[in-house]
Amino acid sequence: MRATFKVTIMSCANCVANVEKAVRKIDGIEEVNINLIEEIMLVSFDESKTDKSKIAEAVKKAGYGAYSLDSAEDEADKPKEKDKKKASLIASIVIMAVLMVIAMIPKQNISINALLQLLLVIPVLILNRHFYINAFKAIKSGGTNMDVLVSLGSLCALFYSLFGLFMILLSFEKGNAQKAEEYSMNLYFDSAGMIVTLVSVGKFIESSSKKKTKDAIDSLIDMCPKKIIRIKTDENGEETEETISLEDIKKGDVILISKGEAASVDGKVVFGKADFDESAITGESVAIPKGIGDEVTSGTMVKEGYVRVRAEFVGEESTLMKIVKMTKEAGATKAPIARLADKISAVFVPVIIVIAVVTFLIWFFVTKDFSAAFTNGISVLVISCPCALGLATPVAITVATGLGARRGILFKSAESLERLRSTDTIVFDKTGTVTKGVVSLEGEVSRDEVRETSPLAMKILKDMGFETVMLTGDKKDKALAIASEAGVSSVRYELKPEDKARIVRELQNEGKKILMVGDGINDAPALAGAQVGMAMGAGKDIAIECADVVLMKSDLLDVVRAIVLSKKTITNIKQNLFWAFFYNILMIPLAAGVLRPFFGIGLNPMIGAACMSLSSICVCLNAIRLMGVKLDSKIEKEAPENETQNNEEKVSISATNNYNEIGCECKNIKGDDENMISFTVNKMMCEHCKKRVEDALLAIDKVVSATADLENKKVTVETDGEVDINVLKKAVKDAGYEVE
């Protein structure tokens, strides 16, 4: 059985390790995966040996909160919890500001000043008591985490300050004012409070940064309307409308979807007509007209018109929810690159504690200065940051999988996202992948047509250094013709279905790293056997078991986009890991006082706490940069070349074909006839693009005709009266093209 849990209070990779360790101890547990960013745990277990309640209890005993999401537990109290945390943080900052002033002002009465510091730090420590509670639970369960380091640093500063306060009072009792003044110079009440306050500030900012990494996924969920209109028909055939919630929709219900609303279910149109924007699911920028009998996908939005749709797949069975689930589960898996960070994080906290103790002992025995030794020891504790190491991979994976999902590219695991970048040979099934998979009649000849974008995709992949291979059961002549038109490097023909998996194995035995692209049905063995299997989902069947990556659109350019995303993500993760390692390698010796004897450079605990928080924030912000990755950069790069395809000059199938590319430039021209308007339209690549542009223009009132010229990238519009050229250009832009 597989169950999903919400796990709270996790802050770093050590927390993840502690939770995993606690759950794996339970008899019957088969697999545990945790998404630190989403705070989600996926558990596979033998329900004859354990159950959800035992798993949740084990997590709670380890010091964390947990409940099953499958039971749909209400999270209504979550906003209140966030508000309480924010209020506690503000109160801590205000009190600490007062405490810092009192600690730094000239002391007219040393005893009263020290007592005031104690009275002010107590509420700060109470407000931030979760650090101490979580640290205690972690140690009790046999684990360690960031809270242990923060708590140790804060409590050491507190107890040493309490000792100093006691000595101040004792010295005054004995009439030794000079001794009392010496102890007053080494009070760390402000440090004890500032450590937990600064870390809390850092965690608050980090939490806001991490929230941005989930926006792509959350925006998909938010697209579904919370209230739906259901059409009910009574026994007399009378129809009534009723408003229901998303959870109340059942298979077979007929729901009304009007302009501006998104479909909450997968189903078929039973009444009406509407233009659907499917960009959120498939990335298709042009609205698709739908009428009776046409399929509607959840998450797509009505731009014009209205329809009634009979629900066929609802709730978690709908396409939208499957996308969300798959994307979240991908974030819960670990990329191989994360293993090094996990191994280091597992021993990080104990090693830091040892380094802090050794630092204190060395400084104390060498200098006999307890205060300096104590300061350096605490600084080591609070400067160290297992959070940055633990966040380096998951934040980047979450951003990347969310970005991919918005573009119709679904990664089933972080491992597949990483493996994709290292492939060097791409094997394509022909029918339904390189070609449209539909047969059109040309005279008496039946021919499977090459997809419009296949030649461009093959050219870009070749320029990126990939070898492309097409597999087909077609006869030699037909296979060679298709391969030549598509521009693949080589072709294997007259194959049986089982031959595809054999060829993939043969290529892998030659040392090649294979990406197999197929329709996810006939190619299952080959998809499963390749280093990465990529299924053409066509907006449906997104949970194809044999594939590692699912492409929602039937577009080979998405193969290019997926590879670009993979490469950019792994580069980002390496940057995160480098800076996380570099930070600790640089800052721990500095905190330990290595430079103090030579240059007088050191760190006090408060600055250390601020630096620790800053390192985690920097990792999150760097990962968020992935949101700006241009997946079409390599595709757009081909635009200016504007090579013209000549059917008589096709190159051999070992090279890429020439074809009519994008980017001709010319000025806006208004014809001699005032009712004729011409202007440049870029990024038209094929007859499909031509039709899109023409249809978009014909939909405008007073437009009589529209003719797009692919070769010159120009469109000519005939109007019945005055039509603003900016209106025409906007329609073309909305269709997904550039105008000049």
Identify the CATH number of the domain in which residue 298 sits. Answer: 2.70.150.10
The structural domain count of the chain equals 4
Distance (Å, whole) CA 213 – CA 621: 9
Q: Is 572 helix (H, G, I), strand (E, B) or coil?
A: helix
Considering the domain boundaries, does residue 349 fall inside one? no
Residue 671 pLDDT:
36
Give catalytic residue positions. Answer: 429
**Cβ(9)–Cβ(63) under 8 Å?**
yes
CA dihedral 69, 72, 76, 81 (to 10 degrees): -20
CA dihedral 461, 524, 279, 39 (to 10 degrees): -100
**Per-range mean pLDDT, top range of 279-293, 460-474, 660-674:** 460-474
User: Residue 715 belongs to what domain range?
Assistant: 669-739
Residues 419 and 304 in one domain: no
CATH number for the domain spanning 465: value is 3.40.50.1000
| Statement: residue 342 has pLDDT above 70 | no
Residues 434 and 558 in one domain: yes
Distance (Å, whole) CA 661 – CA 730: 23
Residue 560 pLDDT:
93
Q: 403: Cβ–Cβ under 8 A, 6 or more apart, which residues?
A: 216, 565, 626, 627, 629, 631
**Per-range mean pLDDT, top range of 214-223, 503-512, 710-719:** 503-512
Considering the domain boundaries, does residue 623 fall inside one? no
Mean pLDDT of 247-258: 89
CA dihedral 406, 407, 411, 415 (to 10 degrees): -100
Considering the domain boundaries, does residue 173 fall inside one? no
- Closest Cα to residue 198, out of 282, 344, 101, 100? 100
pLDDT band at 643 (very low <50, low <70, confident <90, very high): very low
Q: What angle do CA 50, 51, 55 make, to 5 degrees?
A: 90
Residues 415 and 295 in one domain: no
Task: Tell which of 539, 565, 591 closes a domain.
Answer: 565
The proportion of the chain whose per-residue pLDDT surpasses 90, expressed as a percent, equals 17
Considering the domain boundaries, does residue 8 fall inside one? yes
| Statement: residue 660 has pLDDT above 50 | no
Q: 583: Cβ–Cβ under 8 A, 6 or more apart, which residues?
A: 385, 388, 611, 615
Residue 662 pLDDT:
25
Distance (Å, whole) CA 631 – CA 564: 6
Where does residue 91 rank: exposed (0-12), middle (13-18), buried (19+ CB within 10 A)? middle
| Statement: residue 76 has pLDDT above 60 | no
Token pair listed for 166:
């006691």
Mean pLDDT of 660-670: 29
Q: Is 289 helix (H, G, I), strand (E, B) or coil?
A: strand
pLDDT band at 280 (very low <50, low <70, confident <90, very high): low
Residue 189 pLDDT:
87
Mean pLDDT of 435-463: 76
Residues 520 and 418 in one domain: yes
pLDDT (tens digit, 9 = 90+) per residue, 468-489?
Answer: 999 988 888 888 999 999 999 9
Considering the domain boundaries, does residue 516 fall inside one? yes
Question: Look-up: residue for tokens 């545990």?
Answer: 32
pLDDT band at 213 (very low <50, low <70, confident <90, very high): low
Average pLDDT, the chain: 79
Token pair listed for 382:
């609070």
Residue 684 pLDDT:
74
Residues 432 and 560 in one domain: yes
Residue 656 pLDDT:
31
pLDDT (tens digit, 9 = 90+) per residue, 495-506?
Answer: 887 788 899 999
| Statement: residue 704 has pLDDT above 90 | no
Residue 693 pLDDT:
84
Distance (Å, whole) CA 184 – CA 110: 7
**Cβ(388)–Cβ(579) under 8 Å?**
yes
**Cβ(587)–Cβ(607) under 8 Å?**
no
pLDDT (tens digit, 9 = 90+) per residue, 514-569?
Answer: 999 987 556 778 888 889 988 887 534 543 566 788 888 778 999 999 999 999 99
pLDDT (tens digit, 9 = 90+) per residue, 401-433?
Answer: 888 887 888 888 888 888 898 999 999 998 888
pLDDT higher at 151 or 665: 151
Mean pLDDT of 220-233: 77
| Statement: residue 653 has pLDDT above 50 | no
Considering the domain boundaries, does residue 97 fall inside one? no
CATH number for the domain spanning 61: value is 3.30.70.100
Residues 409 and 545 in one domain: yes
Mean pLDDT of 9-26: 82
Predicted TM-score (pTM) of the model is 0.64
Mean pLDDT of 709-716: 81
What DSSP line would sit under 168-213, residue for residue? HHHHHHTT-HHHHHHHHTT--HHHHHHHHHHHHHHHHHHHHHHHHH
Distance (Å, whole) CA 214 – CA 395: 9
Considering the domain boundaries, does residue 543 fall inside one? yes
pLDDT band at 206 (very low <50, low <70, confident <90, very high): low
pLDDT (tens digit, 9 = 90+) per residue, 18-73?
Answer: 888 889 989 999 888 887 767 888 888 988 889 888 999 888 888 888 888 765 44
Token pair listed for 374:
């104590």
Distance (Å, whole) CA 206 – CA 392: 13
pLDDT band at 333 (very low <50, low <70, confident <90, very high): low
Task: Tell which of 503, 534, 565 closes a domain.
Answer: 565
Which segment of 510-514, 617-621, 642-646 scores lowest on mean pLDDT? 642-646
Residues 426 and 555 in one domain: yes
Task: Tell which of 565, 597, 615 closes a domain.
Answer: 565
Mean pLDDT of 508-518: 92
| Statement: residue 155 has pLDDT above 60 | yes
Considering the domain boundaries, does residue 592 fall inside one? no
Residue 219 pLDDT:
63
Distance (Å, whole) CA 292 – CA 268: 7
pLDDT (tens digit, 9 = 90+) per residue, 346-403?
Answer: 677 788 889 989 999 999 998 888 878 888 888 888 777 666 776 777 778 888 888 8
Q: Is 678 helix (H, G, I), strand (E, B) or coil?
A: strand
pLDDT band at 95 (very low <50, low <70, confident <90, very high): very high
